Structure 1
């Protein structure tokens, strides 16, 4: 079922997972102990049903098929894994470390998406 979708729809699905995972993680400030898969799935479901364009392009019989849901679950796992394994760039690390030294902070970050969050947070802090 999933494999029969157009490449653009499959790409949109992946982007929506990634975008919403990063948004959800920012909402919980990347605190792993606060992560709840059901909460993330609720936010992603609300997004695809109310905002995404690709969801309307998927036929109702495909959406109802258990195979489709299994494929989506697998795609969610793959996408989250990819997001968590993508390292921050050297430039990003340098910017964050300089800003943390200036602000006397020590935020940890393990991936590019979390580093994006930390960088935004640091940029919102006023220097003394």
Structure 2
């Protein structure tokens, strides 16, 4: 059912999941132990209702369809997995190393580009 949506709607869904996931992870300071999938899904639904175009493009009966919800859940999980699998760039790693050294703090743990961006922004504010 998800695969039958127009390409633009699927792109909008993908963007909203990415944006909401990053905002959610920032709200918990990228503490993976604090991550709660149910809490994230509520966060994403609220974000989508308030900020995403796709919620106006998909028929309400489709949104309530259990098969569609299952497809959508699979897509959300794929997007989150891809975020975590996207390794930090060399530039990001160098910037974090530079900020850590400048601030004289312990190394910062990060595993993906999105988390590296979070730490670069956070550390830059302290520098």
Establish whether residue 60 from structure 1 lines up as the match of residue 72 from structure 2.
Answer: no
What is the distance in 2 between the residues matched to 1:64 and 1:121? Answer: 39
Gaps of 5+ in 2: none
Q: Could you tell me which residue of structure 1 aligns to residue 20 of structure 2?
A: 20
Q: Count residues in correspondence.
A: 126
What is the distance in 2 between the residues matched to 1:64 and 1:9? Answer: 17
TM-score (norm 1): 0.94
2:88 partner SS: coil
Gaps of 5+ in 1: none
Q: Could you tell me which residue of structure 1 aligns to residue 123 of structure 2?
A: 122
Write the deviation string for residues 54-103 of structure 1: whole angstroms up to 9, x where unpaired.
Answer: 11100122112111100110011100000001011111111110111111
Residues 114-123 or 49-58, more deviating? 49-58
Q: How does 1:48-127 map to 2 (within 5 A)?
A: 48-105=48-105, 106-126=107-127
Q: How large is the Cα RMSD of the aligned pairs? A: 0.9
Residues 72-81 or 101-110, more deviating? 101-110
What is the distance in 2 between the residues matched to 1:50 and 1:122? Answer: 30
